[in-house]
Chains A and B, each alone.
Chain A
Amino acid sequence: MNYTLDFTPVIEGMPNLLTACLGTFMLAISGMLLATVIGIGGVVLRTSKIKLLRWLVIGFVELIRNTPFLVQIFFIYFALPLAGIRLDPTPTAIIALGINGGAYAIEIIRGGVQSISKGQMEAGLALGLHKAQVFRLIILKPALRAIFPSLTSQFVLLTLTTSIASAISAYELTSVSQRIESDSFRSFEVYFTVTAFYLVISWLMMRLFAFFSARYFAYPVK
């Protein structure tokens, strides 16, 4: 082997890479928030009395789940300007991530609401609480707890998916690393280091969720 590893470009690019990590975090967190909003809204529509709305949600979920994110983000990237919406790549990526994550969130949240037994609802009503109170005080927390593990893994996956946003040059870790790579030709060194960064990012994300879970869902179950 006549190749010697040289991490100099990586070390020189370190400030840029570390800032780009924040970009990745920002992208992931914004995407998750949007996905949560879409998820909750979708579940409400999914249980609506109007058949057409229910089918629209089902169609949306299946369309997103059965096509690659890369194709979705390209499509949105080209479709938004045609709809008269001019956005920078980063906000475009957030929208694409939110839509993608939202489709999965719909299915997960729906499962959570279904997992709460009818008896809990009835016990609340029998105690004279209103439907909205029952949902807020009794159903919500156990439902969130039930779906938290799947929501966590889905959102960690969403965090990793942000790297694909580099395809439209959104500001995040992968696109910054590609720039350093194309300037230095130290491809392996750059990507090896960045892979390690992602490992730390997804680990941090998991810790964040675990912290949240331990704080808010710390009640014993059988």
Chain B
Amino acid sequence: MGQDEFFFLLMGLKWTVALSAIGFVCGCVAGLGIALARTSGVPLVERITAGYIALFQGTPLLMQLFVVYYGLALVGIKVDAWAAVSVGLTLHASAYLGEIWRGAIEAVPRGQTEASKALALGYVSRMKDVVLPQALRISLPATIGFLVQLIKGTSLASIVGFTELTRAGNIISNQIFQPLTVFGIVGILYFVMCCPLTIYGAHLERKFAASVR
């Protein structure tokens, strides 16, 4: 495998990073909304968000990308593959992050909410200043764990036809007939992205477990 081929893989890597970043950032924003709705105390809203989460956690990401990709075209929105994949990853991430943060919000001791209420704090302040900062800390290892899952998930964009790292690998592999070398390198590139995050997440988890004890 030559320099040109490797450069082509790096171009794919760039798109993998971009897709992951878009999916994660937009997913965080939407996921926060989902988590708040899921813990709102309004039965109907909680039911709907629970259904939303169950839908995304109960179906393959690949199908979600397909449905969004062809669904957007169906309602007359002409978008590029990368935009469709971004929307799909965002929805996917919002459901998973929403569920992770719901758990974290519920893990904050009830006394915190009660104390804030007793201090006459309103819902916004209660959440923003008291509950969410603690919940965020609790959820950080799981959130990072999901980011790793999301980075790996962007590889499915290749099946929809978008040239990110895995599809770049496919293309090169078909050109030079060295699939093991190519997918080995592709695997290493993913590993280099994900492993530091995994280690950091495990480190936070240990630190948190130690501080609780």
Q: Does A82 contact B (CB under 8 A)?
A: yes
Assuming the contacts A67-B152, A195-B64, asked whether A1 and B194 have C-beta atoms less than 8 A apart, the reply is no
Measured between beta carbons, the chain A residues less than 8 angstroms from B155 are 68-71
Q: Does B198 contact A (CB under 8 A)?
A: yes
Give chain A interface residues in 1-18, CB to chain B under 8 Å.
Answer: 1, 3
Chain B interface extent, by class: 35 or more
Report whether B67 and A188 are in contact in the complex, using a CB–CB cutoff of 8 Å: yes
Report whether B63 and A174 are in contact in the complex, using a CB–CB cutoff of 8 Å: yes
- Least Cβ–Cβ distance between A16 and chain B, in angstroms: 17
Measured between beta carbons, the chain B residues less than 8 angstroms from A68 are 152-153, 155-156, 166, 190
Render A106-139 as a binary contact track against B, CB cut-off 8 A, 1 for contact. Answer: 0000000000000000000000000000000000
Interface residues on chain A, number (Cβ under 8 Å): 36
Report whether A160 and B61 are in contact in the complex, using a CB–CB cutoff of 8 Å: yes
B interface, over-half SS: helix
Report whether A191 and B66 are in contact in the complex, using a CB–CB cutoff of 8 Å: yes
Task: Compute how far the CA of A166 lies from the CA of B60 in the bound complex, rounded to whole angstroms.
Answer: 12
Report whether A191 and B59 are in contact in the complex, using a CB–CB cutoff of 8 Å: no
Task: Compute how far the CA of A174 lies from the CA of B179 in the bound complex, rounded to whole angstroms.
Answer: 24
A residues neighboring B (CB under 8 Å): 1, 3, 62-63, 65-72, 74-75, 78-79, 82, 156, 160-164, 166-167, 174, 187-188, 191-192, 194-195, 198-199, 202-203
**Closest 3 pairs between A and B when the two form their complex, measured CB to CB:** A66-B194, A68-B155, A163-B60
Can you give 13 A-B contacts (C-beta < 8 A)? Answer: A66-B191, A67-B190, A71-B166, A72-B187, A74-B166, A74-B183, A78-B179, A163-B63, A191-B70, A195-B59, A195-B66, A198-B60, A199-B58
